Structure 1
């Protein structure tokens, strides 16, 4: 199975600089992303300059054009991702998107109630006409991940012959059956299309993009992104953390990468190796961080080393991989042509107003094979109110500290998330990685094992740096009240993969660590 390589219309592929096409002179309205001006705020909200107004006037956020195309709006930007068509601002509005989403929502509700065994029962008594994108969603039942484990086939609305790819998700730390998701060829093409248009807000036709993403399997995120980059006129180079950060840095340098895509943790390793090798910090103009949480301090470290802008993408397999993309200002713009988002209280399930953090819930609007209706993602986020300075009418989310159930509850009711520790420890240049364990029964309940970078100083120096970084953060007071934190240094780090970090809970009776040891080999 291969994804469709014609996700952009033929006339648009020429204008966007597709490979194997003659060079095309863009029409006067087309400015494309600015290669020199990387100012404004990145998706973590940090101020990187004062020329954002000029940048906004030079290019349309390309997912806006894709949304207009999906809605059937006729304008130049709906055809050419590089076109800054002033008509788009008039034609594509938040109210228009909401009305279009309402129509798609009612269609998917009617389809699911008729064709899916699960939804036929779950949606009994629901009149699709009474539900809109901004009202009545709370009357629909929430879909829990457990259904994707127990009975994924019951969610299908088409024949299994229409399934082009089945994804099995083994959740770290969860026993029992994995989640299973089914995608049609049309679903995969929609992902490639979103990636193609979105990457034209990240890079430029002719750029080389180093993608540090899983790409071993057909239709994996790395493979789909590679196809999308080709469609957008960019060159894709695949990287894997199994090669090691120094080798990845050499690859990026040798291949003259202008853009790097990967998780915050992996790109941090690459950036530190790049700096140690003494490569030119100005050759990379953009880094797109995805896959896992993005600690602001790590985004800042990457920005300083490469001298580039840092953007963020949020997505998950359940959303069809693509979900929301940062424009360079605050928050990430949702893929509203395909997703309807809401935020609920993770305990009560009550919808929360814009600006309040809770659990992100999504409804797929154009998937016909396996639609997800009010699916609980488990990710913490908030919907941002008001208009974005970039001018896009697409709604924005601001990802939270992690996932529901991912944090450790302290005895005083506070919480500690892996992202909290990432933000404190990962800026340390001498640190390769770390793992954290929580021992509520111990005198020092938080145990952190530090894995030094190859060229780091002494173990004692690294431990002192980590202790100071923690002491300078807002966390130590809460931790000290419950016994504090103990740091260990171990020389053998676990191999870097694509798993997400978590704080492991140590069962009572587990032997204490000796010097140089870690819990990595002792725990599941």
Structure 2
């Protein structure tokens, strides 16, 4: 992937947004609401003055002004593909599918190139995932086997008979494939050629699951953060936490309600602005929640954490959002806890956070509680108001991780 000096990004953003401002009514309306023009974009504080556009808002505008809601700045004749996300939301792509999206960099960084045979199980139907990965794989010089999802037995056969060296799939479908191969009698990893897998993210202890798969099947796993609206947004780099933002994506982590950028370490919505002038989404809320881990010199987010959930899953407690993933991480980090949930309530005018937890057999309340309080503070920057120990029967396995009783 080419590198883009961060000092140039706002100059490029002003140019691409001015192009869109002159041609796309919905983009112009966003600036008029903020009493700005694209030429006012000198830094991240100026960008933050623009309202965040949600997926629901984009859908509403597309229904009011079909098919693209006034966001398209490119000529209709330049549109190469129209993808369809649930809603339906129509996403026109009028640029080179890999140069504009950067997936070839993700695969090259993982060592994929000539001589590799890559099985792509992501969907080629309506959504962009299959084709975007397809273009990125092809750009490396590797040989591609385009399968899409489903048909585990047939795909397992292809893995063995074609000598697949890399598998692209969701984490759950990868597990299905290896379990299918084992049921078919193959001794893995000795009987296959797979060396790596690009896996889709999951909540919970996803990294722990990946490490276990790597060890058991003698592979390296890698991943990226992408959406249908933008394609590649960020990618993993060896030795770095979370995802590094690709330079063509201007990312801010924002309060889900106000849209204001949040400081590093505080979870919020991933808000993305593109430098593309044809489909020029500006301050678009992805609906995904993460933390900023580092900022680039121009003040935008350079690296984000793994995803923590979706907007709407979080509950605000004393000005800080907590998410179901925080409870999952707490359980992972404290083996003495078998199950847990956070109850958010209100005591007069003060918001409270109570942890209800089930201990594993033989564990001690006293020895666990101080660790639990400290780990929760590290994960959320909040101090628990109380801890309530319950028995298994009082907390079924499907009990919600986070309950909002403030109302």
Provide the TM-score with structure 2 as the length reference: 0.71
Q: May I ask how many residue pairs the two structures share in their alignment?
A: 336
The match for 1:158 is 74
Matching of residue 248 in structure 1 with residue 155 in structure 2? yes
The match for 2:236 is 326
Matching of residue 307 in structure 1 with residue 218 in structure 2? yes
Instruction: Name structure 1 gaps, 5 residues minimum.
Output: 1-62, 72-96, 171-176, 388-392, 426-465, 489-502, 506-524
1:287 to 197, 219, 228: 197
Cα deviation for residue 99 of structure 1 reads 1.4
The match for 2:284 is 375
Q: Do the aligned residues in 2 keep the contact of 1:291 with 1:316 (CA within 8 Å)?
A: no
CA distance in 1, matches of 2:165, 2:308: 29
Matching of residue 180 in structure 1 with residue 90 in structure 2? yes
Distance verdict in 2 for CA 1:345–1:216, change over 3 Å: closer
Cα deviation for residue 334 of structure 1 reads 1.3
CA distance in 1, matches of 2:331, 2:159: 27
Cα distance per residue 1:93-114 (max 9 Å; x no partner): xxxx221211111112212222
Distance verdict in 2 for CA 1:129–1:290, change over 3 Å: same
Provide the TM-score with structure 1 as the length reference: 0.56
The match for 2:258 is 348
The match for 2:227 is 316
Instruction: Name structure 2 gaps, 5 residues minimum.
Output: 63-68, 333-359, 363-367, 377-386, 403-407
Cα distance per residue 1:266-317 (max 9 Å; x no partner): 2222233345531325732222123655712221222122222221211000
The match for 1:99 is 7
Q: Do the aligned residues in 2 keep the contact of 1:211 with 1:261 (CA within 8 Å)?
A: yes
Distance verdict in 2 for CA 1:483–1:130, change over 3 Å: farther
Matching of residue 204 in structure 1 with residue 127 in structure 2? no
User: Which deviates more from structure 2 when the two are superposed, residues 413-422 or residues 355-364?
Assistant: 413-422
Written as runs of structure 1 = structure 2, the 5 A alignment for 1:387-402 is 395-402=302-309
Distance verdict in 2 for CA 1:158–1:230, change over 3 Å: closer
CA distance in 2, matches of 1:401, 1:467: 29
CA distance in 2, matches of 1:479, 1:248: 47
1:116 to 24, 27, 38: 24
The match for 2:350 is none
Cα distance per residue 1:112-171 (max 9 Å; x no partner): 22211112222123143432344422212211212321223311113323322222211x
Cα deviation for residue 344 of structure 1 reads 0.6
Q: Do the aligned residues in 1 keep the contact of 2:17 with 2:280 (CA within 8 Å)?
A: no
Indicate the structure with greater strand content.
Answer: 2
